[in-house]
Amino acid sequence: MQVAADPTDRAEEILVSASRLFARHSYANVTMEQVAASVQAVPGALYHYFRDKEDLIFHCYLRGLAIYRHEIEAAAEPGIDGLEIIRRFVRGRLRPEGQRMILFSDIDALAAPYSSEVHAKRWQNAALLADILDRGVADGSIACDEPLLTAVALISILDWVPFWLSERDYYTRQQAIDAIDDIITHGVYRREIALPKMPEPLSLAPFSRLAQR
């Protein structure tokens, strides 16, 4: 006797495939027909799990944010300092089998109840990461004046990596991960020398004069 497929597993399969399509082509350029084809289903079958495309991307966002939270919590093992937790989270997020996230540029195009919940969960993840940065400040492993802002910056960096990382470029994936880990861990300037002043903004006046000729 054939065992019926678990609807939870099928919904997860749809979310994985839809997340990949939305990440690659954007919400506006992906149709429910394309999502259905990617999981070898007829379009009508998707509506057994999701009301419409907006409901689908909403659940893609929730799934991605839940993955982030799980990865942050998994990295926060007892007995290690804050910096090591951050490094474990970063390396775990960049591992080859890691789930690719959707960019959050489409959130505000969603209906208010959807966008509000996604924004709230994003800030919850950022706050969780900020707590770890605070822990690192307390144990002396991290120097950070604005933990929440730093957490948002870290998440933003990690969200964008899959869009430029390529196995066909001059670097290996491991070299890219090592470089990102080094920048996040050490920064790009020598800590034993004074931090130089911020440079003045580049003036566009010369280019404007050339354009007027």
| Measured distance CA(129)–CA(155) in Å, rounded | 9
Q: Could you tell me if 81 and 136 are in contact, meaning their C-beta atoms sit under 8 angstroms apart?
A: yes
Q: Is 208's pLDDT higher than 60?
A: no
Give tens-digit pLDDT for 181-193: 998 888 877 667 6
Give backbone dihedrals phi and psi of 7, rounded to 5 degrees, phi first: -60, -30
Under 8 Å CB-to-CB from 209, ≥6 apart: which residues?
A: none
Amino acid sitting at position 37:
A
Name which of 37-41, 53-57, 98-102 the model is least confident about. Answer: 98-102
> In the prediction, which pLDDT does 201 show?
63
| Measured distance CA(62)–CA(138) in Å, rounded | 31
Give tens-digit pLDDT for 136-187: 999 999 988 899 999 999 998 888 887 777 767 788 888 888 998 998 888 8
Residue 5, Cα to own-chain centre: how many angstroms? Answer: 31
Q: Could you tell me if 128 and 72 are in contact, meaning their C-beta atoms sit under 8 angstroms apart?
A: yes
Cα separations in angstroms, 22 against 53, 115, 127, 180: 11, 16, 26, 25
Q: What is the CATH number of domain 51-188?
A: 1.10.357.10
Cα separations in angstroms, 11 against 17, 76, 97, 179: 10, 29, 20, 36
Cα separations in angstroms, 111 against 30, 53, 63, 136, 166: 18, 12, 18, 38, 34
Nearest to 80 by CA among 132, 148, 126: 132
| Measured distance CA(71)–CA(80) in Å, rounded | 16
Q: Could you tell me if 106 and 27 are in contact, meaning their C-beta atoms sit under 8 angstroms apart?
A: yes
> In this predicted model, which residue has the larger pLDDT, 209 or 61?
61
CB atoms within 10 A of CB 125: 20
> In the prediction, which pLDDT does 15 show?
94
Domain ranges of the chain: 51-188
